[in-house]
Amino acid sequence: MASAGQNASASWENPFGPSVLSTRWKSSRFSGTRQAVTITAPLVHIGYPKCLSTWLQQCLFLPEFGFINPLNAFDIQLGLVSPNPLDFEPGDFCETFSQRCHQAAGDRSLMPVCSSENLVGALSHGGYNAKYNADKLQACFPQARILMVIREQRSMLRSLYRTLVAWGNPYPIKKLLNSPPHWRHIAPSFQLEALEYDRLIRYYQQRFGAESVKVLCFEQFQLDPRRFAADVFRFCALPADEQQLAALPLQQRLNPGSSLFGIEKKRLGNRLYRSIYNSNGLLEETEERQFQRMAAFRARQDGWLDRKLGPAMERRFRHHMEALPQGQFEASNTRTQALVDADLEALGYQLGG
């Protein structure tokens, strides 16, 4: 009898619209029988981190705008990202996704969304699992539309640094920017090449087709958020009239940043705890303690020391950005320009001459 993985490739086009229905054969653990799980091909939003993921999930991917987003990022992490690629069963994830869609949508005709910024790979570890995630998604949703949001790398690094520190990173930005490459395959660490966007764009285009991959820029949202949202609707073949766009909370800012003083204070505290980022800490970093410290960090309000020391620390941070090798991202951004509609140079990206 054919395996579940062999049967997972059966699919056919839906003649009634742009969506695609895919059948996943799921083997019963008890009876050995199989049942068909039918799902509508979703919009898959894969990130990047620090590129509007929370705003998209909480403000746009909602039923009133034609979307249904049945799984949160934690569900996707446990069901798709974390499983070993050799053990991953597409049918299990598809069945969960389909059931949640039907429960949440009912009889409404809504575009399913699978959204998690972790799908671009673990940037704290060089994005080592980016290809695994793409392959898993293609096994689950071969006809999906892929939405990727990118951000100018220097701006991205400033925002990403806060996230890395929040999760327990004890290293200063200078060390992160100069991670030795020779041991990355043994113990993956943060690598700047994870922000060379063209590599991941091309791979998704190979797996899903160029017409099924949409790349937007964080800076496009900053300049014209209504047009950014309209581009998402258009990519999903969903109507978006002016009244609908006007209802979007375009000015709502989620997950505001922290001062560098607060970030550095948290980073130095991270040195005390043993974790996957630091094997020399004095105290064991339990999961409960980690989340308590993260919550306290995110709830922290800037004080007079932030205002006093922050500007000088920001200047030092920018100096580290300027010290990056000339052309660190130029070649990649030049290749990316050929894959996207936006004018990257006008948006502040470094491009080769």
- More confident of the two residues 184 and 24: 184
pLDDT (mean) for 303-318: 89
Topology, domain 4-337: Rossmann fold (3.40.50)
Give pLDDT, residue 15: 25
Give pLDDT, residue 253: 66
In the chain, pLDDT over 90 holds for what percent of residues? 60
pLDDT (mean) for 53-77: 95
Give pLDDT, residue 294: 84
Exposure of 165 in the CB half-sphere (CA atoms within 13 A): 25
pLDDT (mean) for 157-183: 87
Strand 283-284, strand 145-150: pairing: unpaired
Structure tokens at 29: 């653990």
Could you give the C-alpha distances from 92 to 32, 88, 117, 208, in angstroms and in order?
15, 8, 21, 21
Could you give the C-alpha distances from 54 to 74, 179, 254, 324, in angstroms and in order?
13, 29, 7, 29
Give pLDDT, residue 160: 93
Exposure of 89 in the CB half-sphere (CA atoms within 13 A): 12
Structure tokens at 184: 């990355």
Q: Give the Cα separation of 248 and 253 in Å (integer).
A: 12
Q: Give the Cα separation of 27 and 4 in Å (integer).
A: 7
pLDDT (mean) for 120-140: 96
Nearby residues of 300 by Cβ (< 8 Å), 6 or more positions away: 258, 262
pLDDT at 4 over 80: no
pLDDT at 135 over 70: yes
**Which region holds residue 41: left if phi is over 0, alpha if psi is between -120 and 50, else beta?**
beta
- More confident of the two residues 11 and 268: 268
pLDDT band at 193 (very low <50, low <70, confident <90, very high): very high
Give pLDDT, residue 353: 62
Q: 237 and 14 in contact (C-beta within 8 Å)? A: no
Q: Give the Cα separation of 104 and 67 in Å (integer).
A: 11
* Crossing angle of helices 260-270 and 287-299, rounded to 10°: 160
pLDDT band at 10 (very low <50, low <70, confident <90, very high): very low
Give pLDDT, residue 40: 66
Reported pTM:
0.85
CB atoms inside a 10 Å sphere around CB 345:
12
Q: Whole-number mean pLDDT of the chain?
A: 85
Task: Locate the domains of the chain by residue range.
Answer: 4-337
pLDDT at 39 over 60: no
Give pLDDT, residue 243: 83
pLDDT band at 145 (very low <50, low <70, confident <90, very high): very high
Give pLDDT, residue 276: 85
Structure tokens at 140: 């689950």
Phi, psi dihedral angles at 67 (to 5 degrees): -115, 155
Which of 103-107, 165-169, 207-211, 308-312 holds the top average pLDDT? 207-211
CB atoms inside a 10 Å sphere around CB 183:
10
Give pLDDT, residue 177: 87
Angle CA(22)–CA(28)–CA(34) in degrees, nearest 5? 45
